[in-house]
Chains A and B, each alone.
Chain A
Amino acid sequence: MSELPPFLLFFAAALLAAFTRGLPRQLILLATPVVTGLYLWQGINPGTDVAYSVMGYELSILRADKLSLLFGYLFCIASFFGAIYALHVEDTKQHIAGMTYAGSALGAVFSGDLITLFIFWELLAISSVFLIWARGTERALKAGMRYLVYQVLSGVLLLAGALVYYHQTGTLEFNHIGLDVGVAGWLIFIAFGIKCAFPFLHTWLTDGYPEATVTGTVFLSAFTTKVAVYSLARGFAGEEILVYIGVTMACFPIFYAVIENDLRRVLAYSLINQVGFMVTGIGIGTALALNGAVAHAFSDVIFKGLLFMSMGAVLYRVGNINGSDLGGLYKSMPKTTALCVIGALSISAFPLFSGFVSKSMVMTALMQENHGYFWLLMLFASAGVFHHAGIKIPYFAFFHHDSGIRTQEAPTNMLVAMSVAAFLCLFIGMQPQYLYALLPWEVDYWPYDLTHVLAQTQLLFFSALAFVWLNKQGLYPPELHSVNLDAEWFYRRLIPAGTHRTVNFLQRAKASMVTTVTNQIQGMQEQFGKSPLAKYHLSESWPTGSMVFWISIILAFLLLDIFSLGPLA
């Protein structure tokens, strides 16, 4: 039984989803994650390794250890609430894409070698883009295209890196790689970095995710970046540069999140911020930090899923997700509001909520390794998370001033999906020992002590106080219809505009050059026509025949010269 790679169950479900409709399809979509999850839990033991060989290469399609299993369980949970949330959707291609996408994520985390990883890496890219395109708008189409370019580029780098790595080390096994192996290490590192949304490589995420369908974004937020986090944890644990990258990722998006109007884009920025905590943990590389990184990935998929679901429900009911146009929705969507607030408290890492038990491990690890300034920056980022994701999201959507919008509560299936995620947020937060038991590295850690709880509560309450104070003073920036320039400006504006200008410039230059030269020639001809030389017969226009005649005479002369006197020497 344990020979069967779990991704096959999802791929089979994707196939079945194409041929079924209505209730049977809904049952398939719901059963697949549950069955796969149970299979992972009961049927696959850490240490399983199923190899196959292709063209003389030994590849491993199912390599299970505690690290891959943890992500396996997580992806089953995410696709379970994702499937419930999308139960009302009738669009077949979204279901196929969703199942293939989730299956590819499972395939990737159970890949034992770089080539198998590459295959699932590309499948992730191709299947997920349909969740963006399915929105059907012009914007979604273009954003999906840009998204795809990034994702495929990441795959190409991974393949190139894998080949160079094989050339250098003679193995394709996917274990610790590190940056010391040179070019191969860097190629793979950047491939992972693109999917992980490293700074300057992150715009596919903030560009693409908010353009996807209501249900698609829930799937998108769960898999791609977390597969990348898994890959970094396996391949590059303890690389110091990751601490710098992670801290940057945790800090810069919160500024954007404060001034962003599209609330799903706010969540996309906050996703990068949360992945920053994971990347930092991986960079620190101690057992506690690595456990913290993967535990935080676990919590994040659930609370970020919950937040995206609640904002999706608003978008579904109201047809708009701009903070500037919403407000007062708690009156018509009280359940969604309450569930959103649970997600907001979890991402803010309030004690008793899931973010607290995982993020504190990374913070403690920073402290243990004496990274004082990084610790301060991460504390700043923690306060910032609460500010933009914890307060801003629920506040501008559900409270704030009354926008006058009256709508219905979210559909039942969405409420159930959100409740499942909210329950898990609370369960992990209150009973963290079950999550801790799944963590790959052996560490004795317990988050609930007086210092942690008091410190975190103070930090959060006074962040909230700052929000209240800024609002009362009228200093809080209003939500505005706008676009904020980010790294994408380079390829969406600078390069196209630059190309446009260059082409224009060259065209103008060509035109003026042609005119100048023609005028010159005309002038010369006129001058020549007036001169006495014009009467001379060589200056008349010759027929081609006479030219050929003269050339053959010259050639004949040259031939004679070469044969009689030897080469001209």
Chain B
Amino acid sequence: MSDEKEKIHIFDRQENVDRLLKGFYAICILLVVLDLVLHRHIGFAWEKLPAFYAVYGFVACVLLVVIAKKMRNVLMRGEDYYDE
């Protein structure tokens, strides 16, 4: 996510952010390709799915955030709710 390289205000420049994201996407693609090429040990049947961990990680986090957002409707109160 980060690295503190040469200068401090590194992410003020949009091209640096883009560069970081491009590198990040490249690693993601590489990881999927590796999954297709290399052989993983299989413990459970579902692990056989190609790029199982990648798909699972992505879906899990999207679900997590979507559900957490919905939870706000029910659970969220003002900051001094308990102090009133």
Chain A positions within 8 Å of B, measured between CB atoms, are 139, 254-256, 258-259, 330-332, 334-335, 337-338, 341, 344, 367, 372, 375-376, 379-380, 383-384, 387, 390-391, 394-395, 398-399, 402, 449-451, 454-470, 475-477, 480-486, 492-493
Contact = CB atoms under 8 A, between A and B. Distances in A.
26 contacts: A258-B64, A334-B4, A335-B4, A380-B56, A383-B60, A384-B60, A387-B64, A390-B1, A395-B1, A399-B2, A450-B40, A454-B38, A458-B54, A458-B57, A460-B57, A461-B54, A466-B61, A468-B21, A475-B69, A477-B68, A477-B72, A481-B78, A483-B76, A483-B77, A484-B77, A492-B82
A458 B61 contact: no
Contacts of A467: 61
Contacts of A465: 24-25, 28, 57-58
Contacts of A450: 38-40
A379 B1 contact: no
Interface residues of B, number: 54
Interface core residue of B4, B61, B78 (most chain A CB under 10 Å): B61
Contacts of A484: 71-72, 75-77
B2 A341 contact: yes
Contact of B28 (A375, A456, A462): A462
Contacts of A332: 8
A250 B51 CA distance: 24
Contacts of B11: 330, 399
B55 A462 contact: yes
Contacts of B71: 255, 259, 484
Contacts of A395: 1
Contacts of A394: 1-2
A307 to B, nearest CB: 14
Contacts of A470: 61-62, 65
Given A454-B34, A475-B65, A480 B76 contact: yes
Given A459-B56, A463-B58, 17 more contacts: A258-B65, A330-B8, A331-B8, A332-B8, A379-B53, A383-B57, A454-B53, A458-B53, A458-B57, A463-B57, A467-B61, A482-B72, A482-B79, A483-B76, A484-B71, A484-B75, A492-B82
B51 to A, nearest CB: 7
A310 to B, nearest CB: 12
B57 A485 contact: no
B28 A255 contact: no
Given A470-B65, A477-B69, A493-B82, A383 B56 contact: yes
A484 B44 CA distance: 37
A387 B65 contact: yes
B65 A461 contact: no
A457 B31 contact: yes
Interface core residue of B41, B65, B74 (most chain A CB under 10 Å): B65
B56 A337 contact: no
A119 B27 CA distance: 53
Given A259-B76, A493-B82, A367 B44 contact: yes
A341 B56 CA distance: 24
B41 A254 contact: no
Interface in B1-36: 1-4, 8-9, 11-12, 21, 24-25, 27-28, 31-32, 34-35
B68 to A, nearest CB: 4
Interface core residue of A330, A402, A465, A480 (most chain B CB under 10 Å): A465
Contacts of A483: 76-82
B26 to A, nearest CB: 11
A449 B40 CA distance: 10
B73 to A, nearest CB: 11
B58 A330 contact: no
A452 to B, nearest CB: 9
A481 to B, nearest CB: 5
Contacts of B47: 455
Interface core residue of A341, A461, A486 (most chain B CB under 10 Å): A461
B34 to A, nearest CB: 6
**Which 7 pairs, one residue from A and one from B, show the smallest C-beta to C-beta distance?**
A466-B61, A462-B57, A258-B68, A458-B53, A459-B57, A462-B58, A383-B60
Contacts of B69: 259, 475, 477
Contact of B75 (A399, A468, A485): A485
